[in-house]
Amino acid sequence: MPHSVRAFSISADAIAAERERVDDDLSRMDVSRVIAPDEVELPDPGPDDVRLRVLAVSAEHNVDHAALADTVNIAQIRGGKIYPGNSAVGEVVEVGDRVTRFAPGDIVITHCNGEPDEYGYPLRIWAYDQPESIGWYAEQAVLGEWQLIPAPLDCGLNLWEIAALPLRAPTAYHLWRRAHGIFRLKVPREQLATLNVLGFGGGVSELFLMLALAEGHRAFFCSGSPERRAALEKHGATPIDQREFNRFASRDDLRAFGKQVKKLTGGVGMHLVCDMLRGPVFAAGIQAAAREGVNVSAGWQLEKNLSYDSAGASVKQLTLDHLHLETITGCRSATALYGSIFRPTIHKEIYAFEDLPRAMHEMYLNTQTGIPIIRVAADMPEAVSPLLG
């Protein structure tokens, strides 16, 4: 029988009320007033479905964007309300008759590919723009067997670190595949073996740089967080304090940043840059790029549109590349790198389920020391008890 579980939702009415409260000044919005505790009725699993007890989830930026409606008002488009959450670790508690890959008691992670195209890339994202999809910021979920990957419990990461990666790791993995592959179309390894690689800010860039370091390249991490800079420095990345350049607010700041990049790279610049391709760091990424450089981005951070000097980029042989997310096969390949290459930086507080709205607002304010994790289940299965450190 269908039954209700606690979940969090984002409604168009809540967005409208908060926007009215702050006179549409997004910098004053309190995301925790938009992401609300709710209940959702889950169906019985179909023959190809799995019922999942959610153990832990990661706060994801696309949820903040849904709450802000800063790019599109996805809650309104989806009929007035969405149930967000597209990254989770869970325990299988029930399976349909045709499910063969999982059994009750298995620990799994999700991927958020909502509808693959003919080549496996997502047309839509689960719990965001995929119609009728219900996300995993909930006590339980019902989803297709195809949406699950076995959790690598023996990878050396704890449960919270594993929970940080289901969305970020495939994104970083695909960003790296594309950035490195595009550069090698222009400059083969025989001409230049070691590359300068720059990442801005957050969890995806951290993982992107870990891949660069694993392949022997020079990594540079530009962040305003001393904790995150210190964490990446331990992995071998050179830290750059973004605050020294006022988050690139003026041309003078950009010039100063470019001068610093040239100093750090012997006058060459960055061959690969991972940024947002929009917002305040976009111009900095262009400024930092070496000749033949590649600038890659994921997400819709801050805005959907951008402008740049295309003639200058052409002369510089600079390539700008966008992506949405990995294929399902790529998600599995990224999962195989947990612990060996991907070792995420986790925020010092593991949030309680009830504090999820606060976690999302603190992510929006950029005050966290690492990737924010929310513990959903009070009682954890024995299989993960050694991983709760």
3-state helix, strand, coil in the chain (%, to 5): 35, 30, 35
Whole-model pTM: value is 0.94
CATH code: domain 169-323 is 3.90.180.10
Report the pLDDT value the prediction gives residue 360, as an integer from 0 to 100. 95
| Selection from 117-126, 160-169, 322-331 with the highest mean pLDDT | 160-169
Q: What is the mean pLDDT of the chain?
A: 93
Q: Are 155 and 344 in contact (CB under 8 A)?
A: no
Rounded distance between C-alpha atoms, residue 267 and residue 226, angstroms:
26
Equal fold, 3-167+344-387 vs 169-323: yes
Which amino acid is residue 362, in one-letter code?
Answer: E
Tokens, residue 201: 């800010």
38-63 per-position pLDDT tens digit: 999 999 999 999 999 999 999 998 88
Letter string b/e over residues 184-201, b meaning 16 or more CB atoms within 10 A of that residue's CB: eeebeeeebeebbbbbbb
Q: What percent of the chain has pLDDT over 90?
A: 79
Place 277 in a pLDDT band, splitting at 50, 70 and 90.
Answer: very low
Indicate the fold that domain 3-167+344-387 takes in CATH.
Answer: Quinone Oxidoreductase; Chain A, domain 1 (3.90.180)
Give burial (CB, 10 Å; 0-12/13-18/19+) of 251.
exposed
Domain edges within the chain: 3-167+344-387, 169-323
> β-pairing, 270-275 with 196-200?
parallel
Report the pLDDT value the prediction gives residue 205, as an integer from 0 to 100. 92
Handedness of CA 230, 152, 384, 96 (dihedral sign): positive
3-class secondary structure, 69: coil
Q: What percent of the chain has pLDDT over 70?
A: 97
Report the pLDDT value the prediction gives residue 312, as an integer from 0 to 100. 85
Q: Are 317 and 291 in contact (CB under 8 A)?
A: yes
Report the pLDDT value the prediction gives residue 78, as an integer from 0 to 100. 94
- What is each CA distance from 357 to 8, 9, 296, 360, in whole angstroms? 9, 10, 30, 5
188-215 per-position pLDDT tens digit: 999 999 999 999 878 899 999 999 999 9
| Selection from 218-227, 296-305, 311-320 with the highest mean pLDDT | 218-227
- In the predicted model, what is the mean pLDDT of residues 122-142? 93
Cβ neighbours of residue 204 under 8 Å, at least 6 residues apart? 168, 171, 172, 175, 274, 298
Q: Are 270 and 261 in contact (CB under 8 A)?
A: yes
- What is each CA distance from 95 to 49, 151, 384, in whole angstroms? 6, 17, 20
Lowest mean pLDDT across 97-111, 183-197, 251-265, 270-284: 270-284
- In the predicted model, what is the mean pLDDT of residues 159-178? 96
Q: Is the pLDDT of residue 349 over 50?
A: yes
The secondary structure of residue 191, as a DSSP letter, is T
